[in-house]
Amino acid sequence: MRIDIITVLPELLKSPFEASILKRAIEKGLVEVHLHNLRDFSIGNYKQVDDYQFGGGAGMVMMVEPIDKCISKLKSERDYDEIIYMTPDGNTLNQGMANEISLKKNIIILCGHYKGVDQRVRDMFVTREISIGDYVLSGGELAAAALCDAVIRLLPGVLNDETSALTDTFQDNLLAPPVYTRPADYKGFKVPEILLSGNFPKIEKWREQKALERTQERRPDLLEE
Ligand code: ADE
């Protein structure tokens, strides 16, 4: 998979790909992540990428021309399956979407800033608009990093234990059950007996039950879907 990220703040997107699972995925050649500084496609001597909005009102708007230049250059080099715009008014990211996007070959992620991008960018290029939750970030970069993480860890070969993404919270619309490691008794807080029993069918049943209870209690909406 290849991911091209368009941003005015590439430095914000360096470190997420320089540690742990994402770093290893890149080193193994399972994903390529390319950052593009929108200012390299700016117009005029002032490296302008944003401007006042027509009709008045506070806040700047990201201009269509630099984004067009950047996206058009990328599209002239290869085909893209998706051009995703990170924005708080997009569809809320969920595991199903991450699964879908993980099957794509080449994607572009556009990070919004200020009041967002000129609507014509959305009309001309964007295939999908994604929010990572009902709160407003200073820009789309951290949202893009979250999306990349959710997607990249699903690519075959990225996780050591191939099954571990399958037992994640949300993968089957259930939250994950509680987990424990040593010691079996910590200051009187004990690990449930069943987990020490070695009876794996019973342990599996217990986990399913706990996952269901936790989902009913915290996220009953998931069970209705
Ligand atoms: N940009 C600003 N806030 C955002 C959010 N919640 N999700 C995606 N992009 C954003």
The domain tally of the chain equals 2
Query: Do residue 129 and residue 53 come from a single domain?
Result: yes
Res 164: pLDDT: 76
pLDDT in tens, 80-125: 999 999 999 999 999 999 999 999 999 999 999 889 999 999 999 9
Do 109 and 41 fall within a single domain? yes
Mean pLDDT of the chain: 96
Domain boundary among 152, 175, 210: 152
> Do 91 and 140 belong together in one domain?
yes
pLDDT band (50, 70, 90) for residue 14: very high
Shared-domain flag, residues 7 and 83: yes
Q: Cα of 80 to ligand 1 centre, how many Å? A: 22
Give the nearest ligand 1 atom to 86 CA.
9
Q: Which atom of ligand 1 is nearest to the CA of 140?
A: 1
The answer to whether residue 15 is domain-embedded is yes
Kindly state whether residues 111 and 213 are assigned to the same domain.
no
Give the ipTM of the model, two decimals please: 0.98
CA of 212 to the centre of ligand 1 (A): 30
Are 27 and 138 found together in one domain?
A: yes
Farthest CA pair distance, the chain: 71
CATH classification of the domain holding 84: 3.40.1280.10
**Which residue range(s) make up the domain with 199?**
185-224
Question: Of ligand 1's atoms, which has the minimum distance to the CA of residue 135?
Answer: 6
For the segment 168-199, what is each residue's pLDDT rounded down to a tens digit? 888 788 999 999 999 999 999 999 999 999 99
Q: With a threshold of 0.90, does the pTM exceed it?
A: yes
Same domain for 52 and 112, yes or no, is yes
Q: Compute, in angstroms, the gap from residue 133 CA to the centroid of ligand 1.
A: 7
Q: Are residues 70 and 130 in the same domain?
A: yes
Name the residue of 6, 13, 87 to mutate for ligand 1: max ligand atoms within 8 A of Cβ: 87
8 A C-beta contact, residue 3 and residue 109 = yes
Question: Where is pLDDT greater, at 167 or 130?
Answer: 130
204 located within any domain = yes
Tell whether 173 is covered by a domain.
no
